[in-house]
Amino acid sequence: MNKTGHATHDHTTSSERSELMLLVLLAGLIAVYMIIRYGGHWGENDTATFTRAIRSVADTGMLSPGPDYGVYTNGYNYSALVVFLMNLCGLTLADLQLYVAPLLMVWLVFPAWLAYRELTGTARGASLATVIILTQPELLFVLLRGTHEKFTRGLMLLCLYLLMRSLRSRQAPAYFAGYVLAFYLVGYALITSNNLMAMSFTIATGTALGFVWVISRRQVSPSQSAGITIRRLGYITTTLSILSFVFLFYIYTPALGGFLLLKTMWEQTSSLVLDTGTAASNPYAVVNSLWIHPLVYVVLSLANWLLLIASATVWIVQGLNWWRRRPGPQTINELLLWAYYGAFAVQCAVSIVVDVSGALASNLQLRVFPSFALLAAPLVAKYLVDARPKSMRLRRIGNAALWLGLGVLALLSTLKATSDPLLSNKWFFYTPGEMRALDWAEVALQQQGLWLEYDERLFAAERIRNGASALDMYPDWGEVDPGTQDFLISGVTHSRSVRLAQPLPIEADSFLTYDNGQAQIYHRRPRTPYQP
């Protein structure tokens, strides 16, 4: 290599390093913003649920402590990891969930970059794709929470990376064996993190196999690597299915319990394919009530829409070209990226149909979309890297629009992912006074119902804050339970009542039983001999 070549290579390596550092910085800043925005005074339902599951594991030293404990029925990985970190760092569970969990999302940058380098074929494509996924609000939302998802998504990307590497290392048996072994280890870790999402990945692999087969059949001279890839995808689908089966039926039986609770075969099949475990009924109309204006939702979700439209266009054009036997896929990686995208797009489409029908759950799209986005980002990134308008002026405008646009999208997506109360009607924050009022209520209102606002905001916060210790009272929120006689009303509750145009549930002649300046507790005046 000549001197110029060395210089270019050095420049490239240095630039790659800089980009990677910037990506880590970007992910770190998003996490830091989440922490600083609420000063650690935040709570969220799924994080609270996981806090309870982690508490069960920490208290008993068992991954599946039994029916009397709250466990996360779809996997134990995150609970075990947090317990390990608690012991390693000497941090409390609450501190880990509130301060460390958002920061842990930074790790996703590495498997994402590695996988995208394989899928796009270039480091530039990898960096661009990683920036794109860090501007996806739906993905950021699940990464910032104290739940398994940051690891589940990362492990999925790691699986893709190891799959690609193993396909490229067939000529080096030692490497090949290492990558295959590593793939199945990571695959099992994915199953232990969330067996439903792992099954979703397995099904996607099977679907991708179908896409690869279809395209390879259309080629004039199918490559040998296509056949090998199809076989590998078949082995992977089969092996991961067996591992999931063993996990479900023998290793972690709470997962089976949750699975069996789904009443119909349709529900069970759908949950396996579409990665959900809960049933609800609330299709997309909820958007209007979650944001101060529907337009705000559209603007904050711009990154989702742009990615959806751009990736779908690229995928369709690419697919049509290959179908028409114009130049086929240049590499097997390109074909695999296209096939996996198609597989997750199918899941996404089915989930939207299921959502609208209300047959299984209302938020499937929310669960499947991040997986879809993880494959859409490299598809678009690869197109952007490959696209090179001849006009320098056009290139400059395009480049400027891209970096400016992604910068703005990063800002908007962060606001959406953190559910900023200035824009969102779903609030995660609390005030210290509200927690002091709850502390008082836990002593003074034992075994009494206490209304805690229009949603689970304070209950989730309290559950995380106290490390999921049992509450000796009956927390109540939303529509008032008839048995509830006490109500926690704070300044935030007043603000929320105005924002939601919901009246406060107290009557004017209620007794004021507690007041710390920031929050009050009222007791409803008894109307019968049997009301306390």
Partner 1 sequence: MNIRTAINSGTISLLALMLAWGFALCIPARAAAADAPIPCQVTSDTPFGSEGRRQMQLNCDLAERGALDDRLTIITGSGSAGSPATWPAVADLDDAVWIFDYQGNSTVELIVTFHRTGSALVAELYDAQQDPNRLNYTLNDGEVTFNNQLSPTMRVTAPGGWWTRGELINFNLDISVDGLLDAAFDMRSRLRKYVKTDGIVDFVIRIRDTNENGRPDYDWRTVNPPVEELRALQRTFFTVNAKDNEAPLVPALPWPYLGKETYGYLTASAHNTSQPPIQVNWDTGTITAVGEFVTSRGNDAQWFVYSFEEVKEGQMNWPNFESPFAWYDLAEDQDRQPELAVRLGYHWADDVLFVKGQYPRPINFVRYSWDQDNNGYWDYKLGLLGSHEVTSTVAVDNVRMGIVPYEQLPQWVIERSWPVATFVAAEGVRARGEGIYEWDPSSWLTEQYYTGRSDSPFPPPESPSDDKRNLRVIPAGFRGEYQLDLGGKLWLYISAIDHKLHLLRAQEGVWNIDEHSTMRYANPDGDPYLDQWRYIVGGELQSELNLSNGYLVYSARDEVSIKRVQVSPASAQLQPPHGHAEWLALGEKLASERPAFKPTDLRAMLEQFAGPSWHFPNASARDFRPDGNGFRFVLELQPGFHASDSDPLNLAGLEAGPYVVTFDGSFHVRPLTPPALSLALTLQPLEGAGSAVNAPLLMHAHAINTGLEDARNLTLVAEAHHGEKSIEITRQSVDVLSQNPVDIDLTWQPTVAGTWLVEVRLEDQTGYGKTNATLPIEAPVSEEGSQQTILSASTGHGQRLVAYLVLVALALSAGLAVRLNRARAEVEAEP
- Mask: binding to partner 1, 499-528, rule CB under 8 A, as x and -? x-xxxx-xxxxx---------------xxx
Which amino acid would we find at residue 164? M
User: Residues 51, 467: contact at Cβ < 8 Å?
Assistant: yes
| Cβ nearer to partner 1, comparing 90 with 503 | 503
Which amino acid would we find at residue 215? I
Q: CB of 132: closest distance to partner 1 in angstroms?
A: 9
User: Residues 267, 279: contact at Cβ < 8 Å?
Assistant: yes
Site for partner 1 in 26-65 (CB under 8 A): 26, 29-30, 32-33, 36-39
| Strands laid side by side in the 511-515 sheet | 474-476, 449-451, 486-490, 519-523, 511-515
Bridge partners, residue 451, by sequence: 476, 487
| Cβ nearer to partner 1, comparing 199 with 406 | 406
Q: CB of 29: closest distance to partner 1 in angstroms?
A: 4
Q: Does 212 bind partner 1 (CB under 8 A)?
A: no
Q: Considering only residues 69, 440, 474, 514, which one is a binding residue for partner 1 as defined by CB under 8 A? A: 474
Site for partner 1 in 368-407 (CB under 8 A): 385, 388, 395, 399, 402-404, 406-407
Q: Does 151 bind partner 1 (CB under 8 A)?
A: no
| Cβ nearer to partner 1, comparing 205 with 484 | 484
Stretch of residues binding partner 1 (CB under 8 A), selected from 164-172, 269-277, 278-286, 489-497 = 489-497
Site for partner 1 in 225-264 (CB under 8 A): 257, 260-261, 263
| Cβ nearer to partner 1, comparing 273 with 423 | 423
Site for partner 1 in 106-125 (CB under 8 A): 124
In 3-state terms, what secondary structure has residue 519? strand
Site for partner 1 in 300-359 (CB under 8 A): none
Stretch of residues binding partner 1 (CB under 8 A), selected from 86-94, 153-161, 268-276, 497-505 = 497-505
- Cα–Cα–Cα angle for 371, 377, 379, nearest 5°? 110
| 422 vs 24: CA distance, rounded Å | 28
Q: Does 92 bind partner 1 (CB under 8 A)?
A: no
**Pseudo-torsion of CA 96, 101, 141, 185, nearest 10°?**
-130
Q: Which of 17, 22, 16, 14 is nearest to 124 (CA)?
A: 16
| Cβ nearer to partner 1, comparing 148 with 496 | 496
| 446 vs 507: CA distance, rounded Å | 22
| 278 vs 287: CA distance, rounded Å | 19
User: Residues 337, 204: contact at Cβ < 8 Å?
Assistant: no
